[in-house]
Chain A
């Protein structure tokens, strides 16, 4: 009986998390357009509903009814599977992120995380690296020169920054002594890790921009030279899925930053989940703000920054942290 209850609990948590995540990802498109517009002294979308609040729904319905084009020299099975891989990997990343402490419902204590596992952090990296396949295959299978070039650039950039990203957060692991994200949050009850690891936080954020292929590192989709990047031949809902996965991934990266550095759900007065969401959306706002502020880097500059600057700095940060923790 206990097993059955557990199964039901996990299923309900899954459905709720996926629904909320998709809702947020859809509305993130609107938020991004609105914020960018305001920064550039425009109004942004304001026709669908009051303040354009129905815009994401209108976009979604429109994409469903659009014509689906599969180019003739596309590799058809891969062309269809690629967006599915991307979205599956992006949504699955939400499984290990704790969005609150505990909830008591019907006499059951429910942990507000789908899977409270010991390898949580590694699971996130595994999912991120599987998601890269969707990007590479999407570009390669569509049989377009821009597509191939865009996807290869995206993949090379993501793998270059993944190393620094992985190194940047080791400091947090040393301090918390666990890879379980719930335990990492609980270790920050007194003090957030951003206080002990300010450099790691900055390095993590820089790597996150590159990992997400966002401005100022949005070389893979540089409109001026690659037309659109790896998703150039995609149309209708398949294109929308790539777009959607990008925003879901962005939420996941922001949630990870919140969990590792900003104390997760900890905060005074307000309920934990609300604190968690506030912090996530603050980081998301920074992502959008940076996009509106900084120009794009050249591709060789991106690779140089990743390998020659960020990599040594993250190693240095790691050694210093380990030294102080072990000597003390």
Chain B
């Protein structure tokens, strides 16, 4: 258990480094804010409309696919480390798992959801 101490410490130290770097540059850098300077950058043109608009639904589809396949991959990790012990039995059960998921994958493909239009 104490091996995890290193992870705790590196996260604390690296966030300390991040805070220090941002903090130091906050004090060192000069600041002369102007109205024009603080506008969003759009290649020098005056900005048109709101900056944060509604985004396309395609991002949602890909996030959803990622979520599902990510869980699938996560299921495979504990299997992968003991495949040698499980022998053919383990292979067959994972094969069934993968085949069921491939059905879903090909369904998504056929429906054209993997297409970025």
| Chain A residues packing against B (C-beta within 8 Å) | 3, 6-7, 10-11, 13-15, 17-18, 22, 63-73, 80, 83-84, 87-88, 91-92, 94-96, 114-117, 121-123, 140, 142-148, 152, 155-156, 159-160, 162-163, 166-167, 170, 173-174, 177-179, 227, 232-233, 236-238, 241, 299-300, 303-304, 307-308, 311-312, 315, 318-319, 322-323, 325-327
Contact = CB atoms under 8 A, between A and B. Distances in A.
Contact of B10 (A83, A95, A121): A95
7 contacts: A15-B13, A67-B32, A69-B37, A163-B73, A179-B81, A236-B25, A308-B109
A72 B52 CA distance: 14
Contacts of B32: 67
Contact of B18 (A14, A67, A179, A241): A241
Contacts of A122: 74, 77
Interface of A: prevailing SS: helix
Given A15-B13, A163-B66, A303-B114, 19 more contacts: A10-B9, A11-B9, A17-B10, A65-B29, A66-B25, A69-B38, A88-B14, A122-B77, A142-B40, A148-B52, A155-B59, A159-B62, A162-B66, A227-B43, A236-B25, A236-B29, A308-B109, A318-B76, A323-B91
Given A73-B51, A326-B88, A303 B6 contact: no
Contacts of A94: 10
Contacts of A69: 33, 37-38
Contacts of B111: none
Nearest to A144: B40
Interface string B40-61: 1111000000011101001100
Q: Which 7 A-B pairs have the closest CB atoms?
A: A237-B25, A115-B6, A91-B14, A173-B80, A300-B116, A114-B6, A84-B18
A123 B40 contact: no
Contact of A177 (B22, B38, B69, B81): B81
Contacts of A64: 24-25, 28-29
A91 B6 CA distance: 13
Contact of A84 (B15, B25, B39, B83): B15
Interface of B: prevailing SS: helix
Contacts of B74: 122
B100 interface: no
Contact of B38 (A63, A72, A96, A140): A72
B21 to A, nearest CB: 6
B109 to A, nearest CB: 7
A304 B42 CA distance: 30
Contact of B30 (A67, A83, A227): A67
Given A71-B38, A83-B18, A84-B19, A95 B73 contact: no
A100 B88 CA distance: 35
B97 to A, nearest CB: 11
A88 B11 contact: yes
Contacts of B42: 144-146
Contacts of A308: 109, 114
B14 to A, nearest CB: 4
